Amino acid sequence: MNVSLLTILAIVYLVIAIISIIYFILITFERPDILFQEEFGKLSEEPFVSIIVPTYNEENNILTCLHSLKMLDYSNYEIILSDGGSNDRTVELAKPYVDKVLVEETLPEGWIGKNYGCHIASEIAKGEILLFTDADTFHRRDSLKKTVSVLLQKNAGLLSMMPYQRVEKWWESIVPIYFFLSLSFSLRR
C-alpha cells in the first residue's frame, strides 16, 4: 500500500471516529436512558431464556463462548447448539456445555446457513425469550441478567445489544465504529 492511500484511510478513520464521539456525546445528553442505568440487572423473576449458538467449524472459539455462558449469573436458561455440519471438533467440544445439540448439514433452498441454524433451533427452544449469540463471543457474568432486565423494563419485543469488541489488529478497530453508527442512527426517534 502506498503512503497516500494510507493517509487517506487514516483521515477517513479519524473523521468517522470524531463523528462517532460527537454523536455519542449528543445522545448521552439528549437521551441518557439509552445507556445502562443502575436499575438494569435487577429482576424480581427470571423468565426462561433459550440461548442459541449457531456454529460451523468453530472449534477454536466454542469453548470460550460456552464456558462464559455456563458462568452466567442467571439461573433459568438453556443452551442450544445449532451446527451446520462442522468438519472440525466443534460439536464434540460443545456437548458437555450445552443442553441440546442440533446438527443439520442440509440447507433448504432460499436459506443462508446461520439464519437456518437459528431458525431450526428456535423451533425446539423452550424459552420465553430467545437469545441468539455467535460462537466467537464471550459473555460477562451479568450480561444476561442486564439484557433481560432491559427487555422487560422497556417492554420490548426485540432487543439488539451492541457488544464490546476486543480488537487485536488496528483495522479491527474500524468495525465497532460502524456498529456504533448503525446503532446510533437507529436509536433516533
**The 3-state secondary structure of 90-111, one letter per residue:** HHHHHHHHCCEEEECCCCCCCC
Say whether both 57 and 137 belong to one domain: yes
Task: Identify whether the C-beta of residue 75 lies closer than 8 Å to the C-beta of residue 45.
Answer: no
For the stretch 154-162, contacts whose Cβ atoms lie closer than 8 Å and that sit 24 or more positions apart, written own/partner, are none
pLDDT tens digits for range 87-119 = 999 999 999 999 999 999 888 999 988 999 999
188 exposure class (CB count in 10 Å sphere: 0-12, 13-18, 19+): exposed
Q: Give yes or no: residues 85 and 130 share one domain.
A: yes
Tens-place pLDDT, residues 139-151: 999 999 988 988 8
Based on the fold, state whether residues 63 and 123 are members of the same structural domain: yes
pLDDT at 112: 86
The verdict on 53 and 30 lying in the same domain is: no
Q: What percent of the chain has pLDDT over 90?
A: 47
Q: Is residue 12 part of a domain?
A: yes
CATH number at 112 reads: 3.90.550.10
Query: Are both 26 and 59 inside the same structural domain?
Result: no
Q: Which three cell numbers stand for residue 152?
A: 422487560
Contact between 79 and 98 (Cβ < 8 Å): yes
Q: Same domain, yes or no, for 88 and 115?
A: yes
pTM of the model: 0.73
What pLDDT, on the 0 to 100 scale, is given for residue 5?
83
Nearest partner of 95 among 83, 106, 105, judged by Cα: 83
Check residues 10 and 121 and name the one with the higher pLDDT: 121
Structural domains counted in the chain: 2
Q: pLDDT (tens digit, 9 = 90+) per residue, 74-85?
A: 999 999 999 999
**How do residues 36-45 score in pLDDT, each as one tens digit?**
455 555 677 8
The residue ranking higher by pLDDT, 96 or 14, is: 96
Return the percent helix, strand and coil in the chain, to nearest 5: 45, 10, 40
Identify the residue whose cell numbers are 440447507.
107
* Domain containing residue 18: 3-34+170-187
- Which pLDDT belongs to residue 52? 97
